Amino acid sequence: MNKENLPDLIAKVALRDQQAFRNLYEQTSGKLLSIAYRILNNRDNANEILQEAFVQIWYNANEFRAAKAEPFTWMAAIVRYRCYDRIRSENRRVESKLTTDTNEDEEHFTTNDQATTLLCDIGQQLEDCLNQLEQLQRDSVLMAYYHGFSRDEIAIKLKKPLNTVKSWLKRGLTRLQQCLAQ
């Protein structure tokens, strides 16, 4: 995926350039499908969500603001929220993820080479930046962006107030962005 040309592709998509849309799809669909699959654990549903997300991207490309978010982050958010909407509409509960043994979960959500490498192509740099975060901040970021938990689910899992989790995520992402920009 060529991150540098994503803003240009989205700008062209906003102008209804079908070739740019095709290129955007080819460059990002694999990773976006992976996000949907991690959240839904169902290949067919993940493919449907991906299709719906790209329709939304086609119609809403003119709303993308590079000053507010990275292009892939914006598209990933569309996929994630569509997944959460699907889960809500099907009345599926993610409770099974929240009821496992606390000790197993702490080990499961700690940073490791495999999880951070899968999270992003940046690999080692991302791992180094994640390791600079405080433990709960790092766990919150991984739970949200790698494992697909909502902020509410993270708050329940970590037994912390929702606003605390929101702050951890916001500060953690800001620190990651600053670290990765260096």
Is residue 176 within 8 A of residue 141, CB to CB? The reply is yes
The answer on 104 and 83 residing in a single domain is no
For the chain, percent of residues with pLDDT exceeding 90: 31
Is 23 within a domain? yes
Q: What is the pLDDT of residues 44-103, one digit of tens each?
A: 999 999 999 999 999 999 988 888 888 898 999 899 988 888 877 765 444 444 444 444
Cα–chain center distance at 109 = 16
Rg (CA), the chain: 17
Task: Give the model's pLDDT for residue 148.
Answer: 76
Task: Give the model's pLDDT for residue 23.
Answer: 94
Is 94 within a domain? no
Q: Identify the weakest region by mean pLDDT among 29-33, 87-91, 152-156.
A: 87-91
What are phi and psi for residue 92, nearest 5 degrees?
Answer: -80, 140
Is residue 142 within 8 A of residue 109, CB to CB? The reply is yes
Task: Give the model's pLDDT for residue 180.
Answer: 74
Task: Give the model's pLDDT for residue 50.
Answer: 94
Tell me which of 63, 89, 115 is where a domain ends. 89
The answer on 83 and 8 residing in a single domain is yes
What CATH number corresponds to the domain at position 162? 1.10.10.10
The answer on 172 and 110 residing in a single domain is yes
The answer on 106 and 75 residing in a single domain is no
Task: Give the model's pLDDT for residue 178.
Answer: 84
Is 73 within a domain? yes
Cα gap 13→102, rounded to integer Å: 45
The answer on 111 and 65 residing in a single domain is no
Total domain count for the chain? 2
The answer on 108 and 171 residing in a single domain is yes
- Per-residue pLDDT, averaged over 125-130, amounts to 76
The answer on 84 and 119 residing in a single domain is no
Q: Which domain holds residue 84?
A: 3-89
In one letter, which amino acid is 111? T
The residue with tokens 């940046």 is 122
Task: Give the model's pLDDT for residue 47.
Answer: 94
3 pLDDT tier (thresholds 50, 70, 90):
low
User: What are the E-state strand segments in the chain?
Assistant: none
Q: What is the pLDDT of residues 132-149, one digit of tens each?
A: 888 888 888 888 877 778
Whether the pLDDT of residue 160 is over 70: the answer is yes
What does pLDDT average to over the chain?
Answer: 79
- Per-residue pLDDT, averaged over 120-124, amounts to 50
Task: Give the model's pLDDT for residue 124.
Answer: 65
